[in-house]
Chains A and B, each alone.
Chain A
Amino acid sequence: DTEVTQTPKHLVMGMTNKKSLKCEQHMGHRAMYWYKQKAKKPPELMFVYSYEKLSINESVPSRFSPECPNSSLLNLHLHALQPEDSALYLCASSQAAEHEQYFGPGTRLTVT
């Protein structure tokens, strides 16, 4: 099973809402990532978890809060977002930080 799943596929939220994005992999990978991707741009790294511990935070605003409940799950909690946060949010996993990454299909987020 080389699949990374993400829910929901689409999300529309107001600037005062609180929502969460979920990601799951069952490949036994020990590194998991959150990326933000705007149209016609490359994926922009937000967070990296290695062995369930946050190893990289790319100076992401605190309105984005990651969580890794266990080695298979990765969440991204959203609160008080801005319209410019509208983007495709991609989750990825890899065997280790230097290995190839497997991406999920993403959550298309619109902030109104």
Chain B
Amino acid sequence: GQQVMQIPQYQHVQEGEDFTTYCNSSTTLSNIQWYKQRPGGHPVFLIQLVKSGEVKKQKRLTFQFGEAKKNSSLHITATQTTDVGTYFCAGLGTNAGKSTFGDGTTLTVKP
């Protein structure tokens, strides 16, 4: 079945440093979604990427979808303490009918 791998598992940064998490799928994706889950909270939708090579920005967050539609990345510029949480990608396989979540990257930010 479809597998979605996410690295790194954990990332500890100093406030102001940049952060990147990577997501790789074993199969071509129809779309990829990114979610953020704060400690003690529930996943919150951030963005969906659909097109090959697509790049989307949300303030300090930049999301990319690979040309082959098998990988994606989330980059945060100048992290803040409010960025703390676990970031999940979820890939929708072309024939899967459901999205598969990556294992997540947990970000901690030291003030």
Contact = CB atoms under 8 A, between A and B. Distances in A.
A90 B43 contact: yes
Q: By DSSP majority rule, is chain A's interface helix, strand, loop, or mixed? A: loop
B48 to A, nearest CB: 5
Interface centre among B41, B42, B102, B106 (most CB of A within 10 A): B42
B42 A97 contact: no
Contacts, number: 45
A100 interface: yes
Contacts of A1: none
Interface residues of A, number: 21
B45 A101 contact: yes
Interface string B78-111: 0000000000101010000111011110100000
Contact of A41 (B41, B44, B103): B103
Interface string B31-72: 101010000011111001000000000000000000000000
Interface in B14-36: 30-31, 33, 35
Contacts of B33: 100-101
A70 interface: no
Contacts of B90: 101
Interface string A35-62: 0000011111100100000011000000
A65 B31 CA distance: 30
Contact of B42 (A41, A55, A98, A103): A103
18 contacts: A42-B88, A42-B102, A42-B103, A43-B43, A43-B101, A45-B98, A45-B101, A55-B97, A56-B97, A56-B98, A90-B42, A98-B31, A101-B33, A101-B35, A101-B45, A103-B35, A103-B45, A105-B41
Interface of A: 40-45, 48, 55-56, 90, 92, 97-106
